[in-house]
Structures are given as structure tokens and as C-alpha cells.
Structure 1
Amino acid sequence: MRVLHTADFHAGRTLRGYDRTPEIREALTEIAGLARSEKVDAVLVAGDLFDTVNPPADAEATIFAFFLSLRDAGIPSIVIAGNHDSASRLGGLSGLLGWVGVQVVAQPTADPRQMLRFVETKGGEKLVVGALPYLSERRLVKAADVLGADVGRWRQKYREGMNFFLRKLAEGFEPGAVNMLMLHATLDGAVASGSDRGMQFDLTNSYTVSPLQLPAAAQYAALGHVHKPQQLGASPLACYPGSIIQLDFGEGGEKKQVNLVEVEAGRPARVHAIPLVSGKELRTVRADLDTLDARLSALSGFDGLLKVVVRAPSGTALPGLKDRVLRQFPNALGVELDPVKDEATVQAGSREGLSLEQLYERFHQEKRGELSPALRGVFKESDLAVREAAGEGA
């Protein structure tokens, strides 16, 4: 059996006012083409079809066109909601999407059996997918924190809740079938892409799942949520395919992909990364004022999107800098200043908040070495005498 695993489309994304949906449409057309050329039996989409809970019409049209293309090729798909999606919106569309071969799991249910999805291949094989959409505990933990509860217990409760669903989903696996998990979540050990849209925060919060919690009965865990392609865990094999284009400058330089999973009942899965070529390349250029023009001239053949960071002395006014950059590179989406503080300002800032004794100790270390206990005592006595004298004269 051959299954194509993808995730994190983020249709409707804009980057500093620049609409990325045309690039996402191009990437989805490429993915649908790969599904046909690789003769896959099913496509798994592990969440975040949209970038917002209320996506624009062209974003919806882009997603629906993708699924219609799969329908025309006779390829069924299974989809879960991610944290950027509106679960209720996807749930409301599930009946219509079902007519074109899309099985949607939008929200966790009290009965995990309702989150099992099945595909019968043309060759007579059966695919069972335990599909777990995004399950957020953040609001609950925040409320508990405000109320003074033991937040550590709530964080552990999240893992216990995930354990419940994962265990129940695994109970629906069938001998003689290919059994997979699909979830939109953060696994321990996941590496962020450096995204400037807050993904780093998501990876450092406490709402994570250990790869050890994934039931070994699954032959593959199709993950979504993290935009950097990576493998986590080996039993079962768990993978993030990553986002389908470089969504922001934090993802600049990353190679995007989908995962082709080859698997048969009772055997370990084999995963092949298939590179994607769609989407503009994103790049950040850092330069000083005197090297800016040369750096931009060197990018004359670059047709991607650019962010320019200019180093300049703190407090420097640079009127017309953005126009200067745009004249040379119209595709620059951002021009930022990286203020460089002079040495006196840096030293003054480093002294802020230090006591007189701490300042003296730092001065002594810089000029003469470690401050001895005897000399420290003399300084304290002198400081106290000065303070008392000042108080008497007040």
C-alpha cells in the first residue's frame, strides 16, 4: 500500500500583506500530481488546511480544488482539523466533502471509535486510520494557573487525556489491515523551523506528547503541526512532513516535501521524502549601511521574497531606507533596522540595577582581579559611614 502524507497547507496565509495563497495553490496542484504519478492508495492531511478559522473565499476554493483533483484521480483522502482550522466549520462541511471522497475528523469525540476511518484499496487491502484532531489544553491550564491550582497536574492531565484517545484508537486497529495514526500535536523532541509566527512558543510549552505514548500497534504515525520535516520515534515510525511552502522568513532556506509511505499489513513502514518545488524562496539579508547596495546587487537574479535587516548605530534616523531597498529589489517585503549600541551605551545598560557594592566589585574585577573578602569588608564599612554621614547632614 502506498499512502501520501502531507500537512500544514495554511491556505489564506499572508506575509506582511503579501498573499501566499497562489503559491499554496501551486503546491497543492503539485501534490495532487504526485498522488497520481506515484499511484497512491490514499492521501492523509494532518491538519491546518487553513491559516485562520475564517478563511477568505479564494483559500477555500484552493482547498476544494485540491480535493476535487484527488476525486478525479480516484484517490480517497482522510483529513483532521489543526489548531488553525475551525473544527466546527470543517465538521459542517464533512458531509459535502464526503461526496468527493474526503473523510473528515474535525473534533475529538467521547467515543474514539467515531474517529476511526477506513479505506479499501483497489487491490483489496484495508487501511485503518485512528485520526485525532488538535486537542488543546492551553485554556484549561491557564485558567487553573490563575486560580492557583497545581498546573503541573493539569499538564500531566493533558498527557493522560491523549493517552486515553491514543489507546482507544489503537483498540480499533484490525489484524490483517494496515494500521496508522494521524494527529495534529507536538511531540517531545520536535525541532522548530524558526518560524516568526510563534511556532517556537508552541514547541516550548508543556502540551506535548511523548513518542513513547504512541501505540506500537500503529505502523506509522502521520503528524502535523510542526513545519520542519523530521522523524520522531521508530516504533511506530512517526514523521512530520512539514509545511508545503516556506510560510515565513523563519522557514527561509528549508526544503519542503511530502512523505510517501509504503507499508503492508504486519510489516514496518518505509518512508520516502518527495521534494516539492512550488512556492517562492524566502531569504533574510543582513547588511551594514555601507554594504547594503552591494548585498542587494548580488541578489539581482533572485526571484523570491526578501527581508532586509540593516545594522546602524542606535538612534540613527534613516529616512528613505525602504524606498532605497525597493528600488533595487521590489520583492522586499520588509526592511528592518538592527540598532547597534555604542560601547558607552552598552556599558551603561549593563550597570543598570546593580548596587554600589556590585558596581565596585565589577570595577575591581576588570582592573585588578577578584575582590578579596577583607577589601569587600572595608568597602562596606566606608559605604555605611558615608550613608550615615549623609543622613546626619540631611
Structure 2
Amino acid sequence: MLNFSVMRVLHTADFHAGRLLRGHDRTPEIHDALVEIAGLARTERADAVLVSGDLFDTGNPSADAEHAVFDFFLRLRDAGIPGIVIAGNHDSAARLASVAGLLGWVGIQAVSQPSATPQDMIRTVETKGGETLVVGALPYLSERRLVKAADLLGGDTGAWRQKYREGMGFFLRRLGEGFVPGAVNMLMCHATMDGAVPSGSERTMQFDLTNAYTLSGLQLPAGAQYVALGHVHKPQQISDTPPAYYPGSVIQLDFGEAGEKKQVNLVEVEAGRPARVHALPLASGRELRTLRVELEQVEARLEALKGFSGLLKVMVSAPAGTALPGLKDRVLKLAPNALAVELDAPQDDLATPELRREGLSLMELYERYHRERRGDLPDDLRAAFREADESAKTEDVA
């Protein structure tokens, strides 16, 4: 029997367990954040938890990364709180599918891949209070696969974008048809919406190459009382009708997210009525900060930051052509928590070098991406990337 009392649903996304920042493993901080979120689910008396993708940072996560995520699910089980998760673009859909049965034993329903049968992507939770939650769960669907399936090779960008929207619209419409009158109906999706404001972290190779593929808020099923989004790391509301939210990543994952306040969303909702959304701030994770300093002020500025317990990126301004041997050692001696030390060269326009990508090859983009995440690109990875790029070009031509 359907009940009309208030349901409380906790929405989170983008854990990225296993993330390395300049070679520094952020997984312990992510684990702390997940422990904090599980505690909030308990203290806020959540009836269910929704995780909108990117549980892991890579398709082959480390043992520590898997421990962080699975420990989170076990904590939800211990609190008697069910959950629903979908795969994001950083997750291996096959890997998530392989553990879906085990996750089910602890009350976590996983949807790893889109299905032509909408019912395969509809998940239902019967809460302790007797309410029914119906979730249309759409995991990440590769833009490239959707476009290539449409055989649009050689089409213009506008045609690709429209075909992507049409393909995603098919799934969204079918999921909306699975909503149940008298129940609380929600949608989960891992995608980029029109108007979404990215964190600086997402101005990377991956985001730059795929941000042409977006969804319109007009495509969201009108019957959804709340749309639980994942993919964009900056917390934000993206649509009013239906209400659609990105909760953002759970810690400041890289220096592009420095200064962002992280959160999860608590959604209070009754069947047939508008949802009320409350942001719950998160305290876990080390603060990231980019320090821009003139060469002659390096020692003085770093000395003043001795009490800073977060992680630093130090950008040193110097005249063009200045040679600075030993600069990194000078910085690390005063600030062992500095993960990156870079020269800030004079600019010839308003764009910073790390955001100026016009005319760069895929290899150059990848080198910048790797340098930001893990440091200089090793020769073996450079060769492997070049081989993969050539193979992909050959496959597309065929």
C-alpha cells in the first residue's frame, strides 16, 4: 500500500576513489568523506541514498579505492539504509555489473549499463515508513558510441550533438513512462546538462572533447519529482521543473576545485508534491590552494603559510627567459605539502596557458592532462597513447 508521508533521500555522486593528484593518492581523504556521508545518512534519517556515478576514478581501481567505496555501502547496510547507484564515465560498467549481485545482498541496487528495455533501469525501494520510491536510473552512455551508432562520420558538430540528444531523449522518455502514480518518482542520470557550470578540474582533455554533447532540461521527464545528476563536480541546481541537481564531488579533487565547498543533498519529498532540497556541507578532505607569487617573494609567502594543512600548487611569476634551477627544492623545503611548482610565464592574452588549447594535438592535450594529474608523461605512456590514437583513427576510417 502506498503511503503519503515525507520521504528523505540523500543524493551524492562523483566519489572518484583512487584519484591521484600529481602522484598523491587522495583515496584516504575520499574514504573519510564517505564515512562522513554514511554518518549523515544515519543522523538525517535517510530512507535511501542515491549515488549518481563515478564511484571510482578509473576502470581498474586499486584495492584501497574499492575498500573505500565498499566500506561506504557496508556502513549504509549497518544503518539499514538502502541505496541505488549508477555507473559514471570513469567507472567500468562491466566491473560494476560483476559485483551487482553482491551489492544487492547489502541493499545496494546497481545499474551499470543502459538497456533497450526500460524496466531494466527502473529500481524500486520500499522504505521502512511504507513509502515507495521509484527511480529511473540511466548510467553513463558514451557519446562516441551513440554518435558512431548513428553513422554520422563526417557530419557537422551540430548534427552530432542533435543525434546524441535524440538518443538520450529516447531513454529519458521511456524511463518517465515507468513512473508510478502515488509513489515518489525520481530520475538518476550521469551526463552534462545545458547550462552546467564546471569546476576548473573539468577543463581537462576529457571535458573539452565531450562538452558539445549536452542534454536540455526540457528533455527531463515531467513526472520526475527530483533529478539526481552526476558528472559535473561543482554543486548546483540546473533545472527548476523538474528540480535537477548536481551535488558535486565529495572532496576538492584537484586544484581546479580549490575553494569549492563540498556537499550532499538531502531531498524531502512526498508523492505528488514538489521536493524540498537541503544542502548538507561536508568537512572531509584537505583544502587545496593555488599560490601565485613573485619570484622575490617566494620565501616570505611560503613562510606565512606554514600553518596551512592542505595541499599547495605554487605558481611563481618571473621575467620571460629566467632560468630557475633549484626552484622546486626551494619551495619544497619551506612547504613539503606543495604538490606542484610551476613557472607562471608572461601572458600574451587573457587566457592562462593551462586553459589555452586551440590548435593543440591530442598528444599535447594528453601531456597536459597527465602533467596536471600525475606529473610528467613517461615515454612508454606517450608511445602507448600515440599507438592507441592511430588505431582509433584507423577504426573510424574503416
Could you say which TM-score interval applies, normalised by the shorter chain? 0.7 to 0.9
2:207 matched to which residue of 1?
Answer: 201
Deviates more, 1:33-42 or 1:188-197: 188-197
Does 2:190 match 1:184? yes
Partner of 2:337: 331
Match of 2:270?
A: 264
Q: How much has 1:253 moved relative to structure 2? A: 0.3
- List alignment gaps of at least 5 residues for structure 2: 1-6, 349-398
Residue 212 of structure 1 pairs with residue 239 of structure 2? no
Whole-angstrom distance in 1 between the partners of 2:166 and 2:147? 14
Maintained 8 Å contact 1:3/1:41: yes
* Residue 161 (structure 1) shift: 1.1
Distance change >3 Å, CA 47–CA 70, structure 1 → 2: same
Q: Does the aligned pair in 1 maintain the 2:202–2:232 contact within 8 Å? A: no
Assess, with a 3 A threshold, how the Cα gap between structure 1 residues 200 and 55 changes in structure 2: closer, same or farther. closer
Kindly indicate whether residue 304 of structure 2 is the aligned counterpart of residue 298 of structure 1. yes
Shift, 1:194, TM fit: 1.0
| 1:61-105 residue CA offsets vs partner (Å, 9 max, x unmatched) | 111100000001100000000000000110111011100001000
Could you tell me which residue of structure 2 aligns to residue 171 of structure 1? Answer: 177
Counterparts of 1:1-394 in structure 2, within 5 Å, are 1-139=7-145, 141=147, 147-195=153-201, 198=204, 201-202=207-208, 205-340=211-346
Aligned partner of residue 201 in structure 2, secondary structure: coil
Q: 1:84 to 1:200 in 2, by over 3 A?
A: closer
CA–CA separation in structure 2 for the residues paired with 1:196 and 1:159: 21
Letter in 1 for 2:257: E
Instruction: Sort the Cα spacing of 1:199 and 1:280 in 2 relative to 1 into closer, same or farther, 3 A.
Output: farther
Q: Deviations for 1:117-136, whole angstroms, at most 9, x for unmatched residues?
A: 00001111000000000011
Contact 1:196 1:248 (C-alpha < 8 Å) held by counterparts = no
- How far apart are residue 162 of structure 1 and its match? 1.1
Cα 1:249–1:150 shift into 2, 3 Å: closer
Paired residues in the alignment total 342
Q: Give the secondary structure class of the aligned counterpart of 1:195.
A: helix
State whether residues 90 and 106 of structure 1, in contact with CA within 8 Å, keep that contact through their aligned partners in structure 2. Answer: yes
Evaluate the alpha carbon distance shift between residue 148 and residue 200 of structure 1 in structure 2; reply closer, same or farther with a 3 A threshold: closer
Distance 1:140 1:268 in 2: 33
Closer, same or farther: CA 120–140 of 1 in aligned 2, 3 Å: closer
- Relative to structure 1, is the Cα distance of residues 170 and 310 closer, same or farther in structure 2, using a 3 angstrom cutoff? same
* Cα 1:209–1:275 shift into 2, 3 Å: same
3-state DSSP class of the match of 1:287?
Answer: strand
Q: Is the 8 A contact 1:77 1:102 kept in 2?
A: yes
Question: Taking structure 2 as the reference length, what is the TM-score of the superposition?
Answer: 0.83
Q: CA RMSD in A?
A: 1.9
Higher RCO (CA-CA < 8 Å; seq separation 6+): 2
TM-superposed CA distance for 1:249, in Å, is 0.2
The alpha carbon displacement at 1:158 in A equals 1.1
Distance in 1 (CA, whole Å) between partners of 2:202 and 2:303 is 26
Output the amino acid matched with 1:159: R
Structure 1 unaligned regions, length at least 5? 343-394
Question: Deviation at 1:201?
Answer: 3.0
Mapped contact 2:192–2:211 kept (Cα < 8 A): no
Pair member with larger Rg: 1
Deviations 1:350-376 (A, max 9, x none): xxxxxxxxxxxxxxxxxxxxxxxxxxx
- Distance, in Å, in 2 between the alignment partners of 1:95 and 1:267 is 33
TM-score, structure 1 length as denominator? 0.84
Distance 1:102 1:140 in 2: 28
Q: CA–CA distance in 2 between the matches of 1:285 and 1:159?
A: 41
Quick one: structure 1 residues 113 and 283, their matched pair in 2 at CA, closer, same or farther if it must change by over 3 Å?
same
CA distances 1:43-63 after superposition (whole Å, capped 9, x unpaired):
000000000000011100111
CA distance in 2 between counterparts of 1:133 and 1:196 reads: 19
Q: Deviations over 1:233-280 (max 9, x none)?
A: 111100000000000000000000000000000000000000000000
CA distance in 2, matches of 1:251, 1:154: 30
1:211–1:233 CA contact under 8 A, matched in 2:
yes
Structure 1 residue 163 displacement after superposition: 1.1
Classify the secondary structure of the residue corresponding to 1:242.
Answer: coil
